[in-house]
Chain A
Amino acid sequence: MCLHIPQLPLDVFRHSGSDDVPLAVCGTGRHSRVLFCNMPAQRQGVCPGLPLAAARALSRSLRSVARNSDAERQALESLAGWATQFTPVVSLSPPDALLLEVEGSLHLFGGLTGLLERARHGLRSLGYVARLASAPTPLAALCLARCGRERHVGDVASLPAALASLPLSVLDWEQTLVDRLQGMGVHRLAELLRLPRAGLARRLEPACVEDLDRLVGRRPDLRPPWRAPERFRRRLVLPAEVSRAEALSFAVRRLVLELCGWLRGRDAAVQQLEICLYHRDRAVTRLEHGLQRRSRDAEHIAGLLRERLERLSLPGPVLELEMRAERPLAMAATSPDLFTPADGDARADLLDRLRARLGDEAVRGLDVVAEHRPEYAWRSLEAGEASACRPAVAGRPLWLLPVPRRLRTRDGRPCLHGPLQLEPGRERVESGWWDGEEVRRDYFVARDSAGACYWIYRELEGGHGWYLQGLFD
Chain B
Amino acid sequence: MSLDQILQRADVWRAGRLPATQRAVASGFERLDARLPGGGWPRGALTEILFAREGTGTLRLLMPALARLSRDEDRWICWVAPPWIPYAPALQDAGIDLSRVLLVHPGVRQDGLWAVEQSLRSGTCSAVLAWPTVNDSAVLRRLQLAAEAGDASGFLFRSQSVAGSPSPAALRLQLHARRGDDLVVSLLKRRGGQPTGPLHLPSRQAHGRALVVPAHSAVAAGCLPSQWQ
Chain A contacts to B: CB under 8 angstroms: 343-344, 346-347, 349-351, 353-354, 357-359, 361-369, 372, 374, 377-380, 383-387, 390, 392-402, 411-413, 422-423, 425-431, 442, 445, 450-455, 458, 470-473
Contact = CB atoms under 8 A, between A and B. Distances in A.
Nearest to B81: A362
What are the 4 A-B residue pairs with the smallest beta carbon separation, nearest first? A378-B88, A445-B208, A473-B59, A396-B90
A79 B212 CA distance: 67
Contacts of A344: 74
A366 B92 CA distance: 10
Interface of B: 52-60, 63, 74-76, 82-94, 98-99, 101-107, 111, 114-115, 118-119, 122-125, 177-180, 207-214, 216-219, 223-225, 227-228
Given A350-B125, A452-B177, 15 more contacts: A347-B74, A347-B76, A354-B119, A362-B104, A366-B91, A367-B98, A380-B103, A384-B99, A396-B90, A400-B85, A423-B208, A427-B212, A430-B214, A455-B208, A471-B55
A398 B102 contact: no
Contacts of A350: 76, 118-119, 122, 124-125
B53 A450 contact: yes
A455 B212 CA distance: 14
Given A343-B74, A395-B207, A402 B85 contact: yes
Contacts of B58: 473
B218 A398 contact: no
A346 B124 contact: yes
Nearest to A387: B98
Contact of B92 (A343, A379, A390, A411): A390
Contact of A395 (B98, B119, B212, B225): B212
Contact of A365 (B103, B177, B210): B103
B219 A428 contact: yes
A363 B103 contact: yes
A392 B105 contact: no
Interface class of chain A by DSSP: mixed
A395 B211 contact: yes
A451 B103 contact: no
Given A363-B104, A472-B208, A354 B59 contact: no
B207 A397 contact: yes
A113 to B, nearest CB: 33
B208 A395 contact: yes
A249 to B, nearest CB: 16
B85 A392 contact: no
A351 B115 CA distance: 10
Given A347-B76, A365-B103, A455-B208, A429 B90 contact: no
B207 A453 contact: yes
28 contacts: A343-B74, A349-B122, A350-B124, A357-B111, A358-B107, A364-B102, A366-B103, A367-B98, A368-B89, A368-B92, A374-B89, A378-B89, A379-B88, A392-B93, A394-B212, A395-B210, A396-B87, A397-B87, A398-B59, A398-B60, A398-B86, A399-B84, A399-B86, A400-B87, A413-B227, A428-B217, A451-B180, A453-B208
